[in-house]
Each structure stands twice: as C-alpha cells, then as structure tokens.
Structure 1
Amino acid sequence: MLVADDDGVRTITLNRPDRLNALTASIMAPLADACADAARDASVGCVIVTGAGRGFCAGGDLKEGGADKAVVAANRGSGSRTEQGFARLRGFMETARLLHEMPKPTIAMVNGPVAGAGIGIAGACDLRFAGTSASFLTAFDRIGAGGDFGSTWFWTKIVGTGVARELFLLGEKLTAEQAYAKGLYTRLFDDAVLAEETMKAARRLADGPRMGYRYMKANLNNAEDWAFEAALDAEALNMTLSTQATAQIWKAERAAREGS
C-alpha cells in the first residue's frame, strides 16, 4: 500500500502490480486503515484511490486465499469458520463504507482493468476517472459469488437496477468506452493524461469549500435512501451549517492575510 500527500490530496495506491492489485488480507487490512486515516485527517481535502502498474484492482486473489486465509477451526471465541470468514470480510469491506461516507470527495482513478471487489471500491467513490486502457468486469458469476465490497448496492444506485442486473447476471467484460457510455465512469481520458487530469480535479476539490463539500456529500448520500421530506429537512439544516462555516472560514482567512 502506498500513501502520498500533495497539497491536500491524498493518493492511496494498491501496490501489487504483478497481480493487477488483486486483494489479499495483507492488502485489504492496510487499505481499510488508510481510508480511515484519510477520513479523519483534517489536512486531507480529497482522496484518490488507484492501482500501481497497469491495473486498478482485479478483485480478490483466490490463489492467495482471499479474505479467508487466516480462518481457523471453530472455537468459543470466534465461532465457526463461516462466522470468522464473515467477520473478516466485513471488516475489510469498511473500505467501501469509508470511501462512500467520509465527509470529503473521493475519486477512483481507474488506470486499467477493474473486476470483482475492485468494482465495489470504484463504485464507493464519488467520481470515477478512467483511462482508455480501463475495462470493467463484475466477475462474481465466474466464481459463483454474490458480490462484495458494496458492489451490488453502489452500482444499483449509480446506474439503476436494470443496468446493474445486466452487469452482474450476464457478467460481460466492458471496454472503457462501453463502460463510459453506460455511465459507469464519470470521465474518460487518454492513459497518458489520466493521472494529470485526475490530480487537477482533486486539487480543485481540495482547494474548494471543504465544509460545502462535506454537507453537499451528506445531502447526496441522504438522497439515496431517505424520504423526500426528511431529505428537505436535512438540506435546510446542512445549507445553514455549510454557508455559516464557509463564511466564518473565509472571514478568518481574510483577517489572517490582512494581519500578515
């Protein structure tokens, strides 16, 4: 796992390029920790998640045992192997919750193939910027699995239940252009400029009104599930909180400039 900071932008890079950044316990635990650190670090205004080498994330590495490698025999403390496997996987899946819920914008920079759990990580982010070498594959049907890392939830919200069911049930691999046309990717760039364009957007977000983005993201998340009247109440409250916070921050920054 690689973590780098650049003027309020934190980039978290999955670093198993020889395996297209396929996930094992050794990478899933640090990834969840890195997302938690980014969420609580006030110096971070925007988070980018990407993969090293020529891929974003190929999903769980089944050859390395995935999330279940450390599961042991049934015992009083941890329960059955099934319960242990559930607890471990659910802990690793905190990555998706954190990327979706942290009060700052998150961007998935999809620099190559993404499949399996990787589409859950990408779907958890607010924005998905992809290079032309990117592809998209649910892949769960190939191993007889139902989906994880929030993938079925996120993609139903992003593209609607009809397209989501097509993606998961038919399991067809999409090119970057096909995925972009279906609305899976927010922006599509030539590979040569993907990193530059992603960082440009991330810096704009990091330099922007952070309290505004905090409450804006809360409103957008509320809209996914809340009843309309409850969402209106929250919008009214968050509008008041965000504008007052932004005004006070700008006033303090102006006073600091004038006093220097």
Structure 2
Amino acid sequence: MPATHEFTTLTYAVRDRKAYLTLNRPERLNAINEVMPAEIRDAVQRANEDDQVRVIVVQGAGRAFCSGYDLKQFAEEDAENRWNQGPLWDPIKDFQGMKANTDNFFSLWRSLKPTLCKVHGHAIAGGSDIALSCDLLVMATDARIGYPPARVWGCPTTAMWVYRLGAQLAKRMLLTGDTIDGTTAAEYGLALEAVPPERLDEAVEALADRMAGVPINQLVMQKLMINQAYDNMGLAGTQTLATLFDGITRHSPEGRWFRDFAERDGFHAAVAYRDSGLPIPDGGGPPPG
C-alpha cells in the first residue's frame, strides 16, 4: 500500500503484515505540531482495523525520530496563548489540550496490535513521550533520548519514565533532564536493544517479522494481559497528575522566567541555558545576561 495523502505530518504504508507509521516533518526534525497527535491516533486506528496488519512500526523521516513539541514559535511569541494563557491561567483548558495529546500518543500503547519504535537521531521531550508510548523500543547506539524540559517548562504527560525504569532511574532522568544514548538506554532497560546505526533497520525488521508471524488473536491477548498490570498499578491516575503538572510548569514563576528568556533571546538560547546545568532560579527573576 503506498503512503496515503490524507495525512500531513506522517506517512502510512503496509508491507508484509506490518504497518509503517513514519513521522514526516523532517525539516523540523519531526517536531510535534497541532496536527500530529491526532494523526498518530488515526494511523493507529487504521492499522488496527486492517486484518492484513499484525505489527505497527513507528519511525521518523530524516535525521531524527522526533525533536519534541515544535515550541519555538510558542515560547517566543505564542500570540494565541496556546501554551501560555497570560496572567489568568485556566488549568482545565490547559489540561484538556494536553490530555488530548497524551491520549493520542497513548493510542500506540492502547493499540490492540503491538507497536515497535525505531529511534535514530533524537527522541527528545514530547518525542520521548511518543517513543515510550510504544510497546518496544530499538535504538541506534548513537541516538539520544530524554526529557530536558524536566529542568524547567515541562513534565512528561505520559508518565512512562517511571513505568519503564522504576523509581530510582526515573528520578535520575527527570531530576536532571539529561539525555542518554541508545547504549545506555538499553543498559537501563528503557530500550529493548541498541544497535549500530547501520544495523538499525535490519534489527527492527527482524523483530517485527518475528512478531508478525504470530496470530493476531495471540498478539492481542498477550499485550492486553501485560498492559492490564500497568493499569492496576495506577497508570491512568499518574498520567492525570503528570498532565496537570505539565501545565503548572509552564505557568509557574520559573516557567514564566523561561518564557521571558525565550522572548528576549530566542528559544534556542533559552534551551541552551536550560540544558547547560547552570542554576535555574527559584521563583523566576530576570533572564540571565
């Protein structure tokens, strides 16, 4: 099946019992815009309704899997107050928008058919939310994954770091905002496997083909059984809290400090300071410099 034309942020194709969902904004390193989350959900639904599909492979076009939300314009300008509502913040409006995105990403986890994520380049911030919503990750050894906005202006709404890593390693990642390479991600158990970049396609195809030989009924029952254990651990409640916290981080004094920094010096300069390890002031204050 050729790539379809109804999608604007991704392509969808089916070959050999596998559906390929490819994030397709390479000029922006597949950054998440307003349209992408719902298109991911629609593509997952399409694959689940197709009796020819047994496995969904999620990947990114170009140099990266996904660089996160396309926040440059929102942090620097945000004339419509999509991410910052001004002095009067409506937390429920914020929650509704971010929860919708989280649910759209999590269609990959809720998909009856298994989802396999192929990570090259970067899976950063919201990009890591998409990757960690998949059942399995295979990463290039030199790929990077992490949630730098944990330092300021973000909280991972899917909450999958703790469910993937346990408390200690999740705290190691989210209390620093560090990124790690594919080799380290595999050592932590975040990725199933890390392989040299030139072997990434081969490794993903081999695993996808192995699963695609299993009857759909068997795949669905095994996945539902495993997912139910996470639901019993309180996954839905954790995501609700994380999504509320994400909105708070963007409207806290420190969050407003970050936005002021971005408006004055540009989003990239603000991100570079955030990720540098230099202290971020409690309670905000004027941007450095």
Which one of 168, 177, 191 corresponds to residue 171 of structure 1? 177
**Cα deviations by residue, 1:42-67 (Å, 9 ceiling, x for unpaired):** 3210001111111111111111439x
Name the count of aligned residue pairs. Answer: 216
Write the mapping of 1:78-93 to structure 2, written as runs, cut at 5 A.
82-93=91-102
- Please state how far the C-alpha of 1:160 moved relative to its aligned partner: 0.5
Q: Which amino acid aligns with 2:214?
A: G
Q: Among 88, 105, 108, which residue is 2:114 paired with?
A: 105
For the aligned residue pairs, the C-alpha RMSD in angstroms reads 2.2
**Map of 2:197 onto structure 1:** 191
More helix by percentage: 1
Unaligned ranges ≥5, structure 1: 73-79, 228-260
Pairing 1:10–2:19 present: yes
Residue number among 21, 26, 29 corresponding to 2:38 in the alignment: 29
Question: Which of the numbers 20, 35, 51 marks the counterpart of 1:42?
Answer: 51
Structure 1 residue 106 displacement after superposition: 0.7
* Residue 175 of structure 1, CA deviation: 1.7
CA distance in 2, matches of 1:95, 1:70: 23
Query: How many angstroms apart in 2 are the aligned matches of 1:136 and 1:21?
Result: 14
Q: Secondary structure at the match of 2:175?
A: helix
Distance 1:91 1:8 in 2: 29
Corresponding residue for residue 235 of structure 1: none
Unaligned runs of 5+ in 2: 1-9, 83-88, 234-289
State the secondary structure of the residue aligned to 1:65.
helix
Letter in 1 for 2:162: T
TM (norm. structure 1) is 0.76
1:156 is matched with: 162
Task: Indicate if the aligned counterparts of 1:24 and 1:65 stay in contact, CA closer than 8 A.
Answer: no
Identity of aligned residues (%): 29
Post-superposition shift, 1:156?
1.1
Q: TM-score, normalised by structure 2?
A: 0.69
1-structure distance, mates of 2:104, 2:201: 22
> Match of 1:3, SS?
strand
For 2:42 and 2:80, how far apart are their aligned partners in 1? 18
Question: What SS does the aligned partner of 2:129 have?
Answer: helix
